[in-house]
Amino acid sequence: MSDEENLKQHISQLGGSNEIAASPKEAVLERVPNPQADTPYVARFTCPEFTSLCPVTGQPDFAQLMIDYVPGEWLVESKSLKLYLTSFRNHGAFHEDCTVAIGKRIAELLEPHYLRIGGYWYPRGGIPIDVFWQFGTVPESVWLPDQNVPNYRGRG
């Protein structure tokens, strides 16, 4: 099987137009083989405009998400990640639930050596809530940069 055939076997959303899933549970999150699986390294995704809904008021909540992971055999397919994160726009959940659920779903799919997610939420009710979750242990030989998101002081 060629590399292209192998890749197409693992993805269904890349290269076409896609609907946004009605909920995160319905969203398809995909993985692709890691061509550098024998080399420990960090991959980072930053989502500066993450949106979900307050489960009580229905008002929008906004966050910057930062996801760092040390892949094993699999990489998250970035378009599917974007569509998965977008599926939260009409989903009601507390900040903690959104952040941890995203981290757990990615870790379950990829089985990485290490994964961390930082959810840097803008204030709700005058209080910013930042949520952090991690899976696994950082390999000794890996450089893991700081997320460098400042504490809330009227971000912007």
Catalytic hit among 47, 61, 68, 98? 61
Beta bridge partners of 124: 127
**Residue 54 annotated to the active site:** yes
- Exposure of 134 in the CB half-sphere (CA atoms within 13 A): 10
Cβ atoms of 119 and 88 within 8 Å: the answer is no
Known active-site residue 61:
yes
Token pair for 135: 């899976």
- Of the candidates 3, 38, 47, 54, the residue annotated as catalytic is 54
Specify whether the CB–CB gap between 118 and 130 falls below 8 A: yes
Tokens of residue 107, six digits: 């870790």
Q: Which residues contact 29 (CB under 8 A, 6 or more apart)?
A: 76, 80, 81, 84, 105, 106, 109
Buried b (16+ CB within 10 A) or exposed e, 67-94: bbbbbeebbbbeebbebbbbbbebbbbb
Q: Catalytic amino acids?
A: 54, 61
